[in-house]
Structures are given as C-alpha cells and as structure tokens.
Amino acid sequence: MEQYIIKGGNPLVGEVNIGGAKNAALGILAAAVMSNETVKIENMPNVNDTKVLLQAISSIGAQVQRIDDNTVEINGSNIQSLCIDDGFIRKIRASYYLLGALLGKYKKARVALPGGCAIGSRPIDQHLKGFRALGAKVTIENGMIKAEADRLVGAHIYFDVVTVGATINVMMAATMAEGRTILENAAKEPHIVDVANFLNSMGADIRGAGTDVIRIRGVHRLKGAEYAIIPDQIEAGTFMCAAVATKGDITVKNVIPKHLESITSKLLEMGAQIEESDDAVRVVATRRCHPTNIKTLPYPGFPTDMQPQILIALGLCDGTSIVTESIFENRFKYVDELARMGSNVKVEGNTAFVTGISEYRGANVTAPDLRAGAALVIAGLAAEGYTTVDDIHFIQRGYENFEGKLRSLGGMIEKVNNDKEAQKFKLKIG
C-alpha cells in the first residue's frame, strides 16, 4: 500500500501553482452532460475524485475525451443509461450531482443513495426536497434514489440548512425546468458561482449565485461551451497553513485572493505576514505564531475543509486556541492520530482546545479522510524526525501531485510502496 514518508524540520520556501477547484470541477463535470453539444473544460484538477466522476460519466454513455491532464471534452448527446450505480457513489459521493443533471435533462434518473462518511452522517434530504418541489417523484428503493417527472416546473424553494451539495444539485435540475425557480438560503461558496457561471456559459439563465437567493429561469436546451475552472481555495489554504506550520515562506500562485480572505485573516491574527497581489498570496511565518479561535461556517466564513490544516498550525503556537466545528459532527477524528506526534489537543463535542507545543515528533499515522490526511502531512513536514502517513488514497482524492509540489518547496517527502523504498528514502536523506 502506498504511503508517504516524510522527514520534517525544513521550512517550506518558494512558489507553488494552485490547480483548479476540485469541488467546482465535480459540479461542472456533472453539468456538462446536460448539453448535447461538446463542452471543453480547462483547469480541471487531475485528482482521483474527478477521474472517478469522469468514469461514471462514461459509464452512462457520454463521450469523455482527455485532451491533456487538465483539459477534458465531454459530449452528452449519446447518453443511454440514466443510472449511476453504487460503485461510483461509494468512491465519490459527489457522483450524486448526476442526479440533478440527468433529472433536469431527461426528467428521470437513478443514483445509488450515498451513505455517511468519515466526517459525519451527511443526509441528502435537502436535495430530495428540492427535486420534489420541482415536481419530481422521488423514491428510495433497494438503496437507489429514483427521481422522475412528467414535467419539471420551477418552484420557490427554501433550504432548511445552508448546503453546498443541494444548492448545486437543485440548481442544475431547475436549469432545465419550465419557468422560474427561486432558491432561498442557498450556499454562497465560490464553487457554486463557478458552476452557475459554467451553466450560464452553456445558455442557462441563473442569477444571484454567490448570494443566498438564486433565481433561475428554465431553458429547453443547453449548448456547447469552453470553460476554465476557478482555482482551488482549499488547496491554496493548505499550502498557506503549511507555510505557518513549518515557519516558512510560501507564495501560492494562480489564486483568487478574495476567496482566501477567511484564511488570510486568521493567519494574520496568528502573526503571519501576508502579501497579496492580483493572483497570488505570499505567507511568511519565520517566528512562532500566536493562538486564535476559529469556528467553521458556510462561505464567507472559515471553511470546514480547512479546519484540520489550520489546527496543525495552531498546535505549534505559543498558547491555547479554540477550534469549533459547526458543519460536520465528526471532523476531529484525526486528532487521535496527531496525538501520536506529541500534540496537546483535547476534544469535547464539536470543540477542540489546542495548546501549542514547541515541536511535533515524527510518528506513524493514518489519514482518516482527505483534508485531515493533508493536515497530517503538514504536521510531518513540521515535525522533528521521520513520519509515515498511511491511507494516502484519501489525499489523492483531492490534491494533484501533492508530494511533488511539497518537494518543490523544499519538503522532504516521498511516496513509497514498501519498507524497502522507505529505507532507501532514509538512506538518501540521511
């Protein structure tokens, strides 16, 4: 099994290019099947989640042509099956975006019901409520969600919770419903705006994405388009936290600094120096930082997907920080792994009390999920001695060439398959 082996202690220094946003890509790739003309998508992150979604898209008969690692063309004119099976949903929950896309286009779709996952129970009641409000009959049979309608008709839908997934899924279905839909209490994340912009580039009529009221006028058909995905806010934030944790100096390039504001403002509170330009942010933290308190919230609040990475940095500050997780109920599992590295973190319910230590110590740890996995890698890079991180398939779901980018910043990290390769790395590094 692949694992990372890391020798910590080097400040990470240099520039790193940030790829396209994974969570925008998942919505956009699914939405691409709604047109019968060819859609070209650029700046697509070449990560496992997008690879699996592209397989799901091929499995229903859409044509998928890879132009290069980060560019793909999709043509949905020949779709034969409207059923996405359990295998895809188990690998990647966001395959459920094909439910909204296919329901909008064909008024019919079947997708396996996603279960819970490592970070919480993750219900999808708001997705189903939205589809039903548009006139679909939605049933759950033998683990499959079946949605069908004679006609989809625009509706006024008020989400009970702010949800990224339901906002995107219902927005896609409403794009091809008859008449006007209003989504209230919609999520405002940058990737929602990106999916809406992409749909509009195909001829949809969506206004207000990025605010909590989205207005959609349904259209009969969507045309082809060429579209470049926005930069990944979370990948950028991960490297920014790595700069602080390793007392380094990293410039994240090809980013939209506005999308990073909740992260930059916290790093500033911690005492890091930040320089922003049009499409880059430099984070310098040559000294030990100060504690601060963080609460995860929907955008523009601090992202839950950045909670583990910033906690790693807070764990090395000169005092106690309080981190409150308000989006997912089970997102502190990795704290037990971090404890192996000598951290001083106590979790009570959805709150972590993080008392800074002077240094992590290398240990064998296991990635419990995508973002926590990346966070443990950062801890390893900041730690004294060697760390191994197992189950890195989680990290590969969402970070393209993570180890290569970290190495280009001076990180001593290698992906290895067995003990022999790990020993070789140790001999090389010394």
The two three-digit tokens of residue 111, written as one number:
């997708």
What stretch of H or E contains 87? Answer: helix 86-91
For ligand UD1, give the closer residue by CB, 122 or 424. 122
- Can you list the positions of beta strands (E) in 254-379? 273-276, 280-284, 294-295, 320-324, 344-348, 351-355, 364-366
- For 377-380, the CB contacts below 8 A with 24+ separation are 377/4, 377/6, 377/402, 377/406, 377/413, 378/238, 378/241, 378/242, 378/245, 378/246, 378/309, 378/312, 378/313, 379/245, 379/312, 379/315, 379/338, 379/341, 379/343, 380/4, 380/6, 380/8, 380/341, 380/413
Least distance between ligand UD1 and beta carbon 412 (Å): 29
For ligand UD1, give the closer residue by CB, 114 or 315. 114
The residues that bridge with 325 in the sheet, in sequence order, are none
Residue among 308, 318, 319 at smallest CA distance from 377: 308
What's the CA gap between 323 and 222, in Å, rounded?
Answer: 44
CA 271 to chain centre: 27
**Residues interacting with ligand UD1, by CB under 6 A?**
23, 26, 94, 120, 122-127, 161, 163-166, 187, 303-305, 327-328
Least distance between ligand UD1 and beta carbon 92 (Å): 8
Q: Per residue in 107-118, is it b (16+ CB within 10 Å) or e — as a string?
A: bbbbbbebeeee
Position closest to ligand UD1 via CB: 165
For ligand UD1, give the closer residue by CB, 139 or 417. 139
Least distance between ligand UD1 and beta carbon 133 (Å): 13
Least distance between ligand UD1 and beta carbon 76 (Å): 20
For ligand UD1, give the closer residue by CB, 21 or 392. 21
Least distance between ligand UD1 and beta carbon 187 (Å): 6
Whether the CB-CB separation of 143 and 113 falls below 8 Å is answered with: yes
Residue 271, C-beta contacts closer than 8 angstroms, at least 6 positions apart: 285, 287, 289, 290
For ligand UD1, give the closer residue by CB, 208 or 342. 208
What's the CA gap between 332 and 328, in Å, rounded?
Answer: 9
Tracing tokens 């195909």 back to the chain, one arrives at: 202
The single residue of 117, 241, 289, 317 carrying the catalytic annotation is 117
| 117 part of the active site | yes
Residue among 173, 30, 38 at smallest CA distance from 107: 173
For ligand UD1, give the closer residue by CB, 105 or 127. 127
Helices (H), 3-47: 22-32
Beta strand 180-184 with 156-158: parallel, antiparallel or unpaired? Answer: parallel
Least distance between ligand UD1 and beta carbon 143 (Å): 17
The two three-digit tokens of residue 333, written as one number:
């599992």
For ligand UD1, give the closer residue by CB, 50 or 251. 50
For ligand UD1, give the closer residue by CB, 26 or 225. 26
What's the CA gap between 391 and 406, in Å, rounded?
Answer: 18
Least distance between ligand UD1 and beta carbon 72 (Å): 18
Least distance between ligand UD1 and beta carbon 245 (Å): 21
Describe the crossing of helices 370-382 and 233-245 by its angle, rounded to 10 degrees.
20
> Largest Cα–Cα distance in the chain?
68
Enumerate the active-site residues: 117
